[in-house]
Amino acid sequence: MNSVSLGLREQAFIGGHWVGADSGVTFAVNNPASGAVLGQVPDMGAAETRRAIESCARALPSWRDRAAKERAHIMRRWFELIMADQERLARIITAEMGKPLAEARGEIAYAASFIEWFAEEGRRIYGDVIPGPTDRRLLVFKQAIGVTAAITPWNFPSAMFARKVGAALGAGCTMVVKPAELTPFSALALAELAERAGVPAGVINVVTAKDPAPVGLEFTQNPLVRKLTFTGSTEVGKILLRQAAENIQKCSMELGGNAPLIIFEDADLERAVEGAIATKYRNSGQTCVSANRILVHASIVDVFAEKLAAAAGALKVGEGTEAGVAIGPLIEEAAVEKVERHVADAVARGAKVLTGGARHALGGAFFQPTVLANVPADALIFNEETFGPVAPLISFDSEAEAVRLANATPYGLAAYFYSRDVARVIRVAEQLEFGMVGVNETLISTEVAPFGGVKHSGLGREGSRYGVDDYIEIKYVCLGGL
């Protein structure tokens, strides 16, 4: 499919208008599978970002103050338009970031589910009446926080946009989004459908920029912006938190992970292998909740390793649009170099390559699905997010050791384990220092459950009924003289 049939929007969206950068400068977006240029988008900076924020502020009263039911109807229409356009939107994701088309279709359904969920949830933002002295009434109002700003990553360009915009709009807020510079077309396509669904001008704005720093600075310094939501690396999250401190801006941070997957000796091994393949190789391992370390009980490590290597070695690598492909390219050359560095470091420390271990014969940004055995806990791959299709196996001897190794990271996003012992399931789930735990299951993300991390993995939760909270201010009203 070429760029015409993908219907790519090559302008940014501010105040209900499709616009270019003040300078007229654009930057190219490439397909990581082929390197081909897909199109151009405006290279914007602080001035355009300021105008987008101001248009959000102008649009706020009419969006915030209308009936929640009316907001819900518009959002519902948006959800339906997204699902009706699922195939084209999925092809845009595959074109700009490389994931297999089947996964991209899944991402569109997942993205749409947040719009549907928050359309409904926005109608259930209830306040409280607190029992107090008889001569007064203590009331709690829940009110939209106001103008919000979002910065999204390239690995789930549609889902991260929808998870943030859905929550903001459902709560009655307006939002400016800066998508990742590698994947702006998915956000622009969703904004176009929002416009068609009847979301009023200025309620959603999308600013594109090659250099994200000036946009981030305006987001955090402009006093009109009352909340910032960010998904991306812990490193950038820290920069934004520092900047937001000056403005005492409310922040949600969905940051990096280093997920452990523990296979206990009482696990259902077939299920555990399936679960490991699903979490490790989905999106070529470029997922913040991807199992980064696979801890296996010493008594079963050899048989598990053999099964995992056979299953991983059978995964088809290729362009995401090709039938049967399970592993697309990595996002860019720098990502391949990081994966190579992690593999080389592990091998230098005594790890053994059971399958893969190198770039794929297709060249470019393709890397072979890889399984490494005997990885020591001081390897880079144990301590840093690899963001690639590499499964490092580490063996352990006791439950206590497994929990200690799993928690030995500054990150705390997702963790998984396989066990059929009910007491152990409760014990280990309680001891893992992570925001999300999958037990005998590794695909755990859904719009109805809270997504988010602890420690260096972030602040706040997205999706679910808790996901609205970050877009709400609580106001206490004391009504006296009764």
Closer residue to ligand NAD (CB): 399 or 462:
462
Handedness of CA 282, 283, 284, 289 (dihedral sign): negative
How far, in Å, CA of 248 to CA of 56, rounded?
A: 19
Record the tokens describing residue 353, joined without a space: 């390559």
Record the tokens describing residue 470, joined without a space: 């970050």
Number of Cβ within a 10 Å radius of residue 140: 13
Closer residue to ligand NAD (CB): 34 or 445:
445
For helices 159-171 and 184-197, give the axis angle rounded to 10 degrees.
40
Element (H, E) at 47: helix 46-64
Length of the chain (residues): 482
CA-derived radius of gyration, the chain:
23
Is 37 strand, coil or helix?
Answer: strand
CB of 66 to ligand NAD, least distance (A): 30
What single-letter DSSP state applies at residue 469? G
Element (H, E) at 164: helix 159-171
Contact residues toward ligand NAD (CB under 6 A) are: 151-156, 178, 180-181, 212-213, 216, 231-233, 236, 239-240, 254-257, 288, 385, 413, 453, 458
CB of 265 to ligand NAD, least distance (A): 30
Closer residue to ligand NAD (CB): 31 or 290:
290
Bridging pattern class, strands 37-42 and 128-130: unpaired
How does DSSP assign 84-121, residue by residue?
HTHHHHHHHHHHHH---HHHHHHHHHHHHHHHHHHHHH
CB of 389 to ligand NAD, least distance (A): 15
CB of 71 to ligand NAD, least distance (A): 25
Handedness of CA 424, 430, 432, 438 (dihedral sign): positive
CB of 259 to ligand NAD, least distance (A): 10
Closer residue to ligand NAD (CB): 200 or 450:
450
User: What are residue 137's phi and psi, to 5 degrees?
Assistant: -120, 130
Closer residue to ligand NAD (CB): 122 or 232:
232
Closer residue to ligand NAD (CB): 216 or 389:
216
For helices 159-171 and 68-84, give the axis angle rounded to 10 degrees.
160
462, burial (CB in 10 Å: exposed 0-12, middle 13-18, buried 19+) = buried
CB of 455 to ligand NAD, least distance (A): 12
Catalytic residues: 254
